[in-house]
Amino acid sequence: MTSPQSTALSAPARDWFQRAVVYQIYPRSFADSDGDGIGDLRGIISKLDYLQRLGVDVVWLSPIYTSPQDDNGYDISDYRNVDPLFGTLEDLRELTDGLHARGMKLVMDLVVNHTSDEHPWFMESRSSRDNPKRNWYWWRPPRDAAARSAHRGADAEPNNWGSAFSGPAWEFDQATGEYYLHIFSKKQPDLNWENPEVRAAVYEMMNWWLDRGVDGFRMDVINFISKDTALPDGPVADGKLFGDGTPYYIDGPRMHEFLQEMHREVFAKRPGELLTVGEMPGVTVEEAILYTDPARAEVDMVFQFEHVALDQEDGDKWRPKKLLLTELKQTLGRWQEGLAERGWNSLYWGNHDQARAVSRFGDDGKYRELSAKMLAGILHLHRGTPYVYQGEELGMTNMTFGAISDYRDIEVLNHHREATSHLGHTDAEVLAALAPLNRDNARTPVQWDASRHAGFTTGAPWIAVNPNANHINAAAQMDDPDSVYNFYRKVIALRHAEPVVSHGDFTMLLPDDPHVYAFTRALAGSPGDGANGAEMPDREMLVLEMLVLGNFSGEERNVELKDETWAGAELVLGNYASADHPSDGGAAAAGPLRLRPWELKVLRRSRRA
């Protein structure tokens, strides 16, 4: 990575979401109101004041639609109703109104690469080969015998693709004698977006939700919807049973056409009001520029996955490796630079599919609180829209699962079965590989207090509560000014108050330092405008700058910057208790900047342009 990296100065605000912070709720694990052990909408409603106090602007709900719950709601059987597990449409209306009354927006998960196999569309599709909805999904006949013998990793399946949840990506239907495609679970058949009737039905459903007050969509694996219609075999890596189909269904040939059509039919009807983010595994910076360029009218931002694959051997989450900070800086810096002129970044450490941020990127032992705070500051002060995953604001950690029976995630259970039954690994080996990065780490219940089941439920929780809830919980933190929760409040407030954070340029510093993450943000403006005002010939321009420093280690570090003029700059944010800061009137000391273990320092200054 070239150093320094600098993005465009004084980039104008594109929309409200540039200042916004999004909070993700995984409903089944957030708050349970009725004692059945599963979180629900009324539980969320009971915590709206908590979210308002945190300061977030948008709440994103993982799926709450009617579902058999094979993949915890990402297998939808009715797009226009709420699953009874979570409540009713009336409950959702109350939640929407409650958010709006508090100045927050609601974003729903949109899962339209696939449906449940119990969705009426699929039930019709599989009823006969000549059903009008047969072509709403990907149906193919079995391979012939000659083709089967020539292709590794496939039997009679139409191609050799593997499912993301282990096993083949095809399921045979006895009634009609053909296979259907499912990139995920066999209960999640892929929709055929080549069929215009499918697209029209999806757009109608999206408009229906927006008419009910929803403010946008997080679009699940949306860059999978366009597939190479030839469905060719994929390469088979050593040690794998199936072929890699991703070259043929990630960022497929009609992706931009489909998203532009979606924008015309749905988003353009509510200009400037919505937030749209596309989850896009495998997306490149170059593709993301196209997806998020406002002139192309597709989506506001994308979720990319490069930084959350850096601690995996060859992108295999079941082969974890040590994360190198230099690689993290290289990846995130490249995305900052790539989307500087056009497009927009989304910023996240974790979500319902990732391990807990403080366990993965920080230190969840001695320095849990300090590292959780440092991670918050580093992330939120990048250029882009930050996402907070539930419990992250409390410094919640990964869970210890003692046996495979403790897990609930279909991805984990399928991998364990395949690895022990077909790949020759022992139970102990597989459990050790599963521990760091499994999705259930993020799905344990939110820890509200130190009572039984952490105040999440009065019943038996659907998945075990982390035992550390007795000291890591919201009740212990909300009134503690030095807590992780209240530090998140400070970071979010700083983002709202300082236009340099939302609109300023980004320059990566110290790219080769293995322990310190450092960057600056800068914004030029006219004196007194407090923002990125237009340059005026008769007034000298000021540049507001922030220097952000984070120590990603448990040892003290001295930071030598080429620009020594930061000595004496105002210290606006730090994660050590205020009494521990140098008694220099809130300014940085002269000479090398000293960072204590997992310390965050944010300095601010103004200079003449």
Give the separation between CA 109 and CA 559, rounded to whole angstroms.
42
Active-site hit among 220, 233, 311, 599 = 220
Residue 238 annotated to the active site:
no
562: its two tokens:
């080429």
From 80, 87, 75, select the one nearest 39 (Cα to Cα).
87
Give the separation between CA 426 and CA 428, rounded to whole angstroms.
5
Bridge partners of 523, per DSSP, are 544
Task: Name the CA dihedral angle for 405, 406, 408, 409, rounded to a multiple of 10 degrees.
Answer: -90
Q: Backbone phi, then psi, for 8, in 5-degree steps?
A: -65, 135
From 62, 138, 142, 80, select the one nearest 390 (Cα to Cα).
62
Active-site hit among 215, 279, 306, 392 = 279
From 197, 303, 210, 203, select the one nearest 261 (Cα to Cα).
203
Bridge partners of 386, per DSSP, are 347
Q: Backbone phi, then psi, for 208, in 5-degree steps?
A: -60, -45
Give the separation between CA 218 and CA 110, rounded to whole angstroms.
6
Question: Based on C-alpha coordinates, what's the Rg of the chain?
Answer: 25
Bridge partners of 542, per DSSP, are 525, 608
Q: Which residue has the tokens 């058999």?
A: 68
What is the sign, positive or negative, of the torsion defined by CA atoms of 231, 235, 237, 239?
A: positive
Contact of 52 with 95, CB cutoff 8 Å: no
Give the separation between CA 51 and CA 227, rounded to whole angstroms.
39
Bridge partners of 522, per DSSP, are 505, 545
Strands (E), 141-227: 170-173, 178-181, 216-219
Residue 406 annotated to the active site:
no
Catalytic positions are 220, 279
